[in-house]
Amino acid sequence: MAVRWVALALAMSIGAHLHAQPAPPNLDDYDNAIRVYLTGGNLPAALKPLRAFMREHFDAAAQRIVASGDRGRIDAAAMFQLEIGVGIMAVAPTEASEHFALGRWLLEQLAPAAEGAHGAQEAFNTIRATWFGVAASAFLSVSDTANAHTWLKRALAIRPGSPVLLTIQGAAHELDAMGFTPELLRSRSQQTRAVTLRGRYFELAATSFRAALKSDPNYTPAEIRLGRIRFLIDDLSEAQASLERAESRAGQPADRYLSALFLGALHERRGNVAAARAAYERALAVAPRSQTAVVALAHLESMSGGVDRARTIAQSHLESATVDDRFWRAYRKGGVDEAGLMALRRRFIRR
């Protein structure tokens, strides 16, 4: 099952409850929706009755599950709340936050007893840290860095050395930095302040990415983001070293695409047209329908005198049936931690 399938189904089926009139709920519908979710059944149909649920109805259903003492049901309900939050984040972030809060409460009911085995506590901590990290990444995907940082603080308190969480934290700081645009300000004092704050957040981001790499030197997403940060502050030597290391070990398509794309921009800034062209072409080999890479390559050719080649590249892209820039879009906003979400699902969802 594709990672987005559940999220999209939830968004389509549950989103309407946000503006529905309160109706006497049947709490059994909540239990049924969870059972369908766990077994891969017709989720949109199962969720349809929940469109009448208001916040108090979800609370009541969750409290009933906790009262049952069934840890498996509580665990599944916590996961279900996470899925709902991720699914509706793009259209209803406030309501998504409420679903995350309820899910967190459910999750905390699973805390092992103080005298429990160390292994049980470690397993629980891993689940909590991953769960909180996914919630943080969902907020980051809609540029809500304030809530992202709140959830990251909770996650990192549990797993302070997690390269995944530290990279999400760095991405949040990077997005914070991009919120300061001195070139759009008129006042010299405002421009100076914006430059200072932007630089401060870039350094916070770089610190997080370095911490991630200290924890796992082979964690490619952190290396790519560190290289990009150094490029943005004109530290081209360190940027190139990071991006070349990232490209040399990149296994995932997104990592191969981004490292090549950013190396292309770096070589272009340094005036190395041949190296920039080769890098952009490597990016396009991974994502042939990437508008970002096509525009970058066409611009490079145009600026270096290859106007006809630039026109051919642009025309070829215009004739393409679809545009696919999901890797670039996910980079810009951090994107939902899909690997973490899948890891949580694999614990109990039967397909």
DSSP string, 15-73: GGGGGPPP----HHHHHHHHHHHHHT--HHHHHGGGGG--HHHHHHHHHHHHHHT-HHH
Are residue 44 and residue 171 in the same domain, yes or no? no
Domain-located, residue 291: yes
Q: Evaluate whether 9 touches 87 at the Cβ level (below 8 Å).
A: yes
Residue 31, token pair as written in the block: 């239990």
Are residue 106 and residue 1 in the same domain, yes or no? yes
Alpha-carbon span 122 to 101, nearest angstrom? 22
Domain-located, residue 178: yes
Are residue 158 and residue 249 in the same domain, yes or no? no
Domain-located, residue 186: yes
Tell me which residue of 128, 115, 124, 193 sits closest to 157, measured CA to CA. 128
Cα angle 154-156-161, degrees, rounded to a multiple of 5: 170
Alpha-carbon span 27 to 52, nearest angstrom? 11
Alpha-carbon span 149 to 168, nearest angstrom? 9
Alpha-carbon span 230 to 261, nearest angstrom? 15
**Up-side HSE of residue 139: CA atoms within 13 Å toward CB?**
25
Place of tokens 């970002």: 292
Q: What is the pLDDT of residue 3?
A: 45
Alpha-carbon span 110 to 325, nearest angstrom? 40
Domain-located, residue 9: yes
Which DSSP state fits 320?
A: S
Where in the sequence is the domain holding 309, given as residue range(s)?
Answer: 238-332
Are residue 96 and residue 178 in the same domain, yes or no? no
Which DSSP state fits 243?
A: H
Are residue 62 and residue 210 in the same domain, yes or no? no
In CATH, what number is assigned to the domain containing residue 305? 1.25.40.10
Domain-located, residue 231: no
- Per-position b or e across 312-338, b if 16+ CB within 10 A of its CB: ebbeebeeeeeeebebbebbbbbbbbb
Alpha-carbon span 277 to 281, nearest angstrom? 6
Domain-located, residue 223: no
Tell me which residue of 7, 46, 8 sits closest to 28, measured CA to CA. 46
pLDDT per residue rounded down to tens, the chain (351 residues): 444 445 555 555 555 444 445 556 789 999 999 988 888 767 677 778 888 888 899 999 999 999 999 999 999 999 999 999 998 898 889 999 999 999 999 999 998 866 566 678 898 999 999 999 999 999 999 999 999 999 999 999 999 999 999 999 999 999 999 888 877 778 888 888 888 898 999 999 999 999 999 999 999 999 999 999 999 999 999 999 999 999 999 999 999 999 999 999 999 999 999 999 999 999 999 998 888 998 899 889 888 777 777 777 767 665 565 777 889 888 887 788 999 999 998 887 654
Write the burial class of residue 71 (CB in 10 Å: 0-12 exposed, 13-18 middle, 19+ buried). exposed
Tell me which residue of 311, 310, 288, 293 sits closest to 301, measured CA to CA. 310
Q: How far apart are the first and last CA of the chain?
A: 8
Are residue 190 and residue 124 in the same domain, yes or no? yes
Q: What is the pTM of this model?
A: 0.88
Q: What is the pLDDT of residue 74?
A: 95
Q: What is the pLDDT of residue 174?
A: 94
Alpha-carbon span 152 to 159, nearest angstrom? 10
> Of 110, 144, 179, which closes a domain?
110
CA torsion 102-107-111-112 (nearest 10°) is 150
Are residue 91 and residue 4 in the same domain, yes or no? yes
Are residue 196 and residue 272 in the same domain, yes or no? no
Domain-located, residue 254: yes
What is the chain's Cα-based Rg? 23
Are residue 201 and residue 346 in the same domain, yes or no? yes
